[in-house]
């Protein structure tokens, strides 16, 4: 019971701290549009991020049983941790909060005649969202560890955050940076555990697969 509660807590923290990238990209892209197009850009930008998360989650669940995939996933997750560390140091959350506030104010940001189309803004958002959505799904899938209910919860929670509370979350993370540092510690722990299982697990570990070790039976 306590372990399940901690897992859900880890997913919530991961969703919170990994939402900054999306908010920054969507806010900046929307703020560069004329005021009448901003709300559409924010809405469709959030929708694109949600769809990408669903696609990546389906792919992730299919790949979890492939031998060696956990080890590769752990390396990717460590890369996510490094990128998050850099973002915390340069205060990306504050930039994201400002970008969303600017995009939501018709008197701020770019207010002249349209200089770029809604399609071009959404294309920029989609390209940036590919890596950001993958980060989020990878972290949640690692914590869920094959638990479909937990994976769906993490996915749904991330989408709800983006759709209804992005500005509030950015304000919270800007005001209390310790939350981001706590989240980074959680992700490093998850990546480390994922790497351990990805190397030593007798069924899916890269160690037994390459004949380096006999392997350990893990659940």
Q: Domain range holding 100?
A: 2-209
Q: Which is it for the CA torsion 74, 192, 14, 153, positive or negative?
A: positive
Give the pTM: 0.73
The predicted model gives 47-61 an average pLDDT of 77
Residue 206 DSSP SS3: helix
Q: Tell me what pLDDT residue 97 has.
A: 66
**pLDDT band of 107, cuts 50, 70, 90:** low
**Residue 82 is assigned to a structural domain of this protein:** yes
* Angle (deg, nearest 10), helices 166-175 and 148-164: 90
Q: How many CB atoms lie within 10 A of CB 133?
A: 25
Give dist(CA 33, CA 111) in Å, integer: 8
**Residue 23 is assigned to a structural domain of this protein:** yes
Residue 112 DSSP SS3: coil
**pLDDT band of 115, cuts 50, 70, 90:** low
**Residue 135 is assigned to a structural domain of this protein:** yes
Q: Tell me what pLDDT residue 96 has.
A: 67
Q: How many domains is the chain built from?
A: 1
The predicted model gives 94-118 an average pLDDT of 62
């Amino acid at each position: 019971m306590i372990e399940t509660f901690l897992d859900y807590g880890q997913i919530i923290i991961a969703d919170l701290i990994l939402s900054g990238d999306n908010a920054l990209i969507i806010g900046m892209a929307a703020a560069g549009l004329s005021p009448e197009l901003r709300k559409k850009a924010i809405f469709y930008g959030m929708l694109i991020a949600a769809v990408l998360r669903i696609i990546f989650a389906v792919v992730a669940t299919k790949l979890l049983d492939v031998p060696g995939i956990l080890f590769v996933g752990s390396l990717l997750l460590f890369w996510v941790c490094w990128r998050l560390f850099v973002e915390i140091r340069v205060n990306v959350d504050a930039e994201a909060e400002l970008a969303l506030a600017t995009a939501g104010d018709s008197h701020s940001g770019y207010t002249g005649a349209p200089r770029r189309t809604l399609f071009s803004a959404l294309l920029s958002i989609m390209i940036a969202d590919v890596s950001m959505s993958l980060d989020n799904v990878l972290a949640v899938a690692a914590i869920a560890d094959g638990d479909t209910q937990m994976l769906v919860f993490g996915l749904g929670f991330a989408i709800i955050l983006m759709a209804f509370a992005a500005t509030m979350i950015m304000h919270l993370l800007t005001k209390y940076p310790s939350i981001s540092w706590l989240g980074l510690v959680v992700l490093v722990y998850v990546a480390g555990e994922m790497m351990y299982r990805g190397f030593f697990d007798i069924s899916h570990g890269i160690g037994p697969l390459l004949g380096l070790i006999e392997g350990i039976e893990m659940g």
